[in-house]
Chains A and B, each alone.
Chain A
Amino acid sequence: MLSRAALSLFWMARYLERAESLVRLLDVSLTMGLIDVPEDRQEQLSVPLLVTGSRDTYSSLHNELTPHSLIEFLLLDSRHSGSVYSIICNARDNALQVRGNLSADVWESINLTWLELKEMRTNGVTESSAGQAFDWIRARSHVFRGAAYGTLLRNDAFRFLRLGTFVERADTTARVLDIRYWLASQSDSEEASRPFFEWNALLQSLAAFEAYQTIYGYTPDAMNVAELLILNEDVPRSLHACLKEIAGLLEQIEGDRGRGAKRLATSLYANVKYGDRDYIKHRGLGPYLEDFIVRIQGIADRIETDYMGWQRS
């Protein structure tokens, strides 16, 4: 398929996945902020900023970290390129570029999200209406996924779109896990219940709470959570599940251009597929995740240069 179209599909899907992740993250942080003691509230609120690396942008626009301004900043602020508003705008822009490759259902799902989001922005979102807004964005993300799954031809266009989804998802899972792990390990001395809340929040924001309960059935602890979100192939947002998809999709893409991307992806896939608790424990969860984040970024870059990096020659 056309390289430019592949690039747009890849990014369109990344952005849409990003919007959903951001909303899950924000939702959980706001809820945790309510449960937590006041001094930790700030810390909870800052999690989405830490995960998305937008703390500096935030402080350049706001003096205080309050739920209200956090919602404003992460949901609707057009000055912040990482807000849901900006992300959906980018997704829609990319979708517009590849309208020729999208089914009407997929295009309309994205375009409608954009039109309604603009309306939402005009009406504003308050702390009390934020829950509704989060639900709506999650639902729109499901509609997109459903439309893509149910109506797109299984060709390279579909594969590049799915690649975008899983690259973004793997990156998000690793980042959220990394930050939450770090927060949990910061505070174990003061309060016994604190790590519990952290793990809970982590599982909630990756939509894996029920999965954890089903599989482990006990109070979350660091290594169980790590095992679930890194190694368990059946958890939709685990690193293993994402890498399996990425490696599989690359395998199916037509042509011989993606050797570099395939090599990197297969190697990282092997790492999670054949990794185990002891290996991760031995390396340390923090270093393990930081290495993973660098490598998934490397795969994303390599996909772009292999398939889309046309130089006029």
Chain B
Amino acid sequence: MRIEKAPPTLYDEIFDKEHRARPHCRGLEQWLEQADEALLAEKRREADVLFRRLGVTFNVYGEDEGIDRLIPFDLIPRVLSAADWQRLQVGLRQRVNALNRFLHDIYHGYEIIRAGVIPAEQVFANPQYQPGMQNLKVPRNIYAHIAGIDLIRHNDGEFYVLEDNLRCPSGVSYMLENRRMMMRLFPELFARMPVAPVDHYPSLLGETLKAASLQTNPTVVLLTPGRFNSAYFEHAFLARQMGIELVEGADLFVRENRVFMKTTAGPRAVDVIYRRVDDEFIDPLAGNPESMLGVPGLYAAYRCGNVVLANAMGNGVADDKSIYPFVPEMIRFYLGEEPVLRNVPTWQCRLEQDLKYVLDNLEQLVVKEAQGAGGYGMLIGPSASRAELDNFRAALKARPEHYIAQPTLSLSSSPTFVGNGIAPRHLDLRPFVLSGKKVQMVPGGLTRVALREGSLVVNSSQGGGTKDTWVLESPSC
């Protein structure tokens, strides 16, 4: 089949600048060359039917028709060499360790602030900072039990961290279901290439959640906002895979600062809550009083140390875009190591000279809201219209502290099935890092791909799709 190759200015995951397959991707190249377009189209329809039957669907906010939409799935896997993964793993472990140390610090001794590494107002004035977490002892000092770190590869071939997700990172079910799908559709490919397995993720997660409590055999539940949440499929999937109860707020209650669930055999005490409900909604008595998703009294029970929340409350301050520029410094400060993974250079618009630079170079930059997520409220300078640029310029001047800016990175590309052949499309990578008794991850993650030609936005809410992510096991790669 015809394969359109990426221009040499881009880094392609499969092909080098001379359009030859990278050494670890030769097997995939052969497969692609032999693949027949009609067969791929057929397999894609099969995948759609299977995903739909499985109910792997999501909802798009603000879109009525969006109920039960499928995230487009690309049949061509994204491949990482063993060496790439080795390096990523070291870097991810280091980064998540430092972030957990940071969270513990800003709720206890404030050493990093006192040392002048991070300005106090960046922490304490952050709306995500939870004063209620101060001096609260959490088991093993772990705050981000589950972290999703968004990475991209730049055209220099290096990985850069785009964002840390330390609240309720989602997408891991796609990592698992995409793999299952690929094994079903193309078993012969797995015979040809040594793909590292990922399907032990739920047991690692279960282990991590158990380790979040110091009790010997804690009762763990997964708290979901319910079936109208865009990630409900994932919540149900993980609960089932781990053999724990999938609860909604109304299934729990608090009595004498202990959390119980309402079971057919009476109240049953809960020790660990893997919560997929945001801080603000978790307890109407502590956060948003309108919240129907939470449990009245839960925060108080948590503060008494009677229940563990995973992830902890108040993590948002550490994955905020205004704290992001300081992560390399955190790694040096807490671990005394040089960061393995790079940060994207970031201009903090709250600083006068940074703001000036951003305003002068807006056409070349990406501007993001410090607290935005999901690809909303974002300006991509090079592709923005004059009006969009003007709007952002005004917004930047009005509230500079709400924005950060970064150079427009050229996300790496990978061959993607586009209907009339195979063409390069941009992608990112979200590995999931679990912190319990030790820091663990499965080899892989969620690869999101921007399906529109030239697009750099990989979010599923804005035309992004997913791919299976292969980490190759053979050390020769």
Interface residues of A (CB under 8 A from B): 1-6, 96-104, 107-108, 111-112, 115, 156, 160, 253-258, 307-308, 310, 312
Contacts and interface: CB of A to CB of B under 8 A. Distances in A.
Contacts of B264: 1-3, 6, 156, 160, 253-255, 257-258, 307-308
B240 A101 contact: yes
A1 B54 contact: no
Contact of B265 (A5, A107, A254): A254
A251 to B, nearest CB: 14
23 contacts: A1-B264, A3-B251, A4-B248, A4-B250, A5-B246, A96-B227, A99-B55, A99-B236, A99-B237, A100-B222, A100-B240, A101-B246, A102-B240, A103-B240, A108-B55, A111-B55, A115-B52, A115-B53, A160-B264, A254-B265, A255-B264, A255-B266, A258-B264
A307 B52 CA distance: 34
Given A100-B236, A100-B245, A310-B262, A2 B55 contact: no
Nearest to A309: B262
Given A98-B246, A99-B246, A100-B239, 6 more contacts: A2-B246, A2-B262, A100-B235, A103-B240, A256-B265, A310-B262
B471 interface: no
A312 B284 CA distance: 15
Contacts of A96: 55, 227, 232
A1 B345 CA distance: 51
A33 B292 CA distance: 52
B263 interface: yes
Contacts of B266: 255-257
Contact of B245 (A5, A103, A254): A5
Contacts of A253: 264-265
Contacts of B222: 100
B53 A2 contact: no
Nearest to A97: B227
Interface of B: 52-55, 222, 227, 232-233, 235-237, 239-240, 245-248, 250-251, 253, 261-266
B55 A4 contact: no
**Residue with the greatest number of chain A CB neighbours at <10 A, chosen from B235, B240, B263:** B263
A107 B227 CA distance: 14
Contacts of B263: 1-3, 255
B277 to A, nearest CB: 15
Q: Which 8 A-B pairs have the closest CB atoms?
A: A255-B265, A100-B246, A99-B236, A100-B239, A307-B264, A310-B262, A100-B236, A3-B262
A72 B267 CA distance: 46
A98 B240 CA distance: 10
The interface centre, meaning the residue of A2, A6, A101, A104 with most chain B CB atoms within 10 A of its CB, is: A2
A104 B232 CA distance: 15
Contacts of B251: 2-4
Nearest to B221: A2
Contacts of B55: 96, 99, 107-108, 111
B288 to A, nearest CB: 19
A307 B53 CA distance: 32
Given A3-B262, A99-B240, A254-B264, A312 B53 contact: no
Contacts of B245: 1-2, 5, 100
A129 B377 CA distance: 52
A207 B59 CA distance: 42
Contacts of A6: 264
Nearest to A103: B240
A108 B53 contact: yes
Contacts of A160: 264
A112 B53 contact: yes
Of A101, A103, A256, most B-chain CB atoms within 10 Å: A101
Contacts of A102: 240
A307 B237 CA distance: 25
A51 B255 CA distance: 46
A26 B142 CA distance: 60
Contacts of B235: 100
B247 A2 contact: yes
Contacts of A100: 222, 235-236, 239-240, 245-246
Contacts of B54: 104, 108, 111
B275 to A, nearest CB: 15
A3 to B, nearest CB: 5
A87 B222 CA distance: 29
Contacts of B253: 312
Contacts of A256: 265-266
A76 B233 CA distance: 27
A6 B54 CA distance: 22
A258 B264 CA distance: 9
A260 to B, nearest CB: 13
Nearest to A310: B262
Nearest to A3: B262
Most interface-central of B54, B55, B236, B240 (chain A CB within 10 A): B55
A156 B53 CA distance: 26
A122 to B, nearest CB: 15
Contacts of B265: 1, 253-257
Contacts of B246: 2, 5, 98-101
A254 B268 CA distance: 13
Contacts of A112: 53
Nearest to B239: A100
A121 to B, nearest CB: 16
Nearest to B52: A115
B262 to A, nearest CB: 4
Nearest to B55: A111
